Amino acid sequence: MTTLKRILSALMAAVLAFSIAGLNVAAEEKLPSNAAYVAGDADGDAIINSADALRIIYHSSGSYEMTDVVRRTASDVDKSGEVNSTDALYILYHATGKIDSFPRDDYNLQTIAGNITYDPYTGCVIDNEGLGLVGFAYDAKYNVFYATGAGWQRTMGYTELYDRLAAVAFMPLDTIRIKFNYAGMQWMVQLWKGYYGLVLAGCETGFYNRPGDTPENHTTYNVVSEEYHQEMSCRFHYGLSSFNRYSKTWWLTGFSPAAQVSPATTIPMMRVENTINFTDIGLMNAFIEGLEGVDHIFQNYDGKTRPFYFERGVNYRVTGTSVWFEWQ
C-alpha cells in the first residue's frame, strides 16, 4: 500500500510539474508587435457572434487547435489565462445582449472616424458593433470588401426580383439556385458571381429557407435562422482579382477591385470554388440532392441561361460533412 501511495504521489507531482511548466510557457508567450484584436473575436473576422463561441468550444474540447496567440488572447475574454467554455458563455451572453462588454478590452485597434476602427493584424475595417458600414466591412490586408451578415440585409430575405433589378443597378451576374427539401422546409443555397458596380468583381453564397407548404411558384425565401448558419468558404478566381473568404454565416461574400468589362464575355470566365461544412448530415445529403439537380446558370445581364451540371468527382466532392464544389 505504501508503495502504491508513493507511485501515485510521484505521478501527481509529475502532472503538477508539467502543468506549472505549461503555465510558464503560456505566461512567457508574447503577442506579435503588430498584434491587435477585438475582444472575443476567435475567428478573426472582427464580428463577435456565436461562431466565435463555437470556435472556442472546439478549441477547449480538443477538436480544433487555436494556434494563433492573438486569437487565443482575444478569445480569453474573462482574462483567466485559459480559453474555455466560460469564454464561450461570455460571448453568447454578449451576442444575446445580456452583457455589453467583456473583462478583456479590445487591443491596439486604430480609430479611423467615429466608431469605425481598423485592426492592423487582420486588416479588417469595421465599426465597433460588428455591423460594418451599411452592412459591409473591408479587409485591408487582402483588399476585399465583404458583407458582415449582421446588417440590414438579413431582414430582407430573397426574391428573384433582386437578381433582375441587379442588372439595372450595374450588377451583371451569373447565378445558380440550388433548391432542396429538408425537415418539412423548402431550402435554397444561391450562388452569384460577376460585377458589383463598375469597379468591383466577386461572388456570394446565400443560405435560405421557407415553410414547406409554400407554393412552388413563389420566388421569396427567408434568411435561415442562426442555428442553420454554416461554415462556408470561397475562392474567387478572375485575373488579378483573386481572393479567399471564410465565415460561419448565412451569407458569404467577397468583392475586390476590377473594372467592369463586357459582362457576357468576362463573367463566364470567373471561377468560384465553394466549400460548406455542414452541421447536420441530413441537411448535407438534401443539399447534395439539390446540387445534382442543377441544370443551368442564369445570366441576369441578358435574361438567358446556359447549361451547367454538377458531377460528383468532377466539379464537386464530399469529405465527411464537407462539400466542395466549383462552378464557372
CATH code for the domain in which residue 58 is found: 1.10.1330.10
The pTM is what? Answer: 0.76
Phi, psi of 216, rounded to the nearest 5 degrees: -60, -30
Taking the C-alpha atoms of 275, 284, 321 and 94 in order, what is their torsion angle to the nearest 10 degrees?
80
Residue 199 belongs to some domain of the structure: yes
Residues 300, 237 share a domain: yes
Q: What CA–CA distance (Å, rounded) separates 261 from 191?
A: 21
Residues 16, 55 share a domain: no
Residue 117 belongs to some domain of the structure: no
Residues 57, 17 share a domain: no
Domain region containing 278: 147-327
Q: What CA–CA distance (Å, rounded) separates 153 from 241?
A: 25
Residue 187 corresponds to which cell in the numbers above? Answer: 431550402
Residue 138 belongs to some domain of the structure: no
Residues 198, 67 share a domain: no
DSSP β-bridge partners for residue 204: 192, 253
Residues 272, 181 share a domain: yes
Residue 229 belongs to some domain of the structure: yes
Residue 119 belongs to some domain of the structure: no
Residues 158, 67 share a domain: no
Give the pLDDT of the chain (328 residues) as one tens digit per residue.
454 444 444 434 433 343 433 333 344 468 988 899 989 999 887 778 888 998 899 899 988 889 999 999 999 999 999 999 999 999 999 988 899 899 999 999 888 887 788 888 888 887 766 666 667 788 887 889 988 766 556 667 888 888 988 988 999 999 999 999 999 999 999 999 999 999 999 999 999 999 999 998 899 999 999 889 999 999 999 987 789 998 888 999 999 999 999 999 999 999 999 999 999 999 999 999 999 999 999 999 999 999 999 999 999 999 999 999 999 9
Q: What CA–CA distance (Å, rounded) separates 198 from 129?
A: 29
**Model pLDDT for residues 6-52, shown as the tens digit of each residue:** 444 443 443 334 343 333 334 446 898 889 998 999 988 777 888 89
Residue 142 belongs to some domain of the structure: no
The residue type found at 100 is D
Residue 124 belongs to some domain of the structure: no
What number of H helices and E strands is found in the chain? 7, 18
**Model pLDDT for residues 90-111, shown as the tens digit of each residue:** 999 998 889 989 999 999 988 8
Residues 275, 191 share a domain: yes
Q: Which of 51, 86, 110 is the last residue of a domain?
A: 110
DSSP one-letter string for 188-225: EEEEEEEESSSSEEEEEEEEEEEETTS-TT--EEEEPP
Residue 226 belongs to some domain of the structure: yes
Residues 47, 154 share a domain: no
Burial 172-189 (b: 16+ CB within 10 A, else e): bbbbbbbbbebeebbbbb
Residues 37, 11 share a domain: no
Q: How many domains does the chain have?
A: 3
CA distances, 265 to each of 60, 153, 262, 299 (Å)? 49, 30, 6, 11
Residues 278, 166 share a domain: yes
CA distances, 217 to each of 25, 224, 321 (Å)? 61, 20, 31
CA distances, 267 to each of 166, 294, 327 (Å)? 15, 19, 12
Residues 13, 54 share a domain: no
Residues 92, 19 share a domain: no
Residue 78 corresponds to which cell in the numbers above? Answer: 474573462
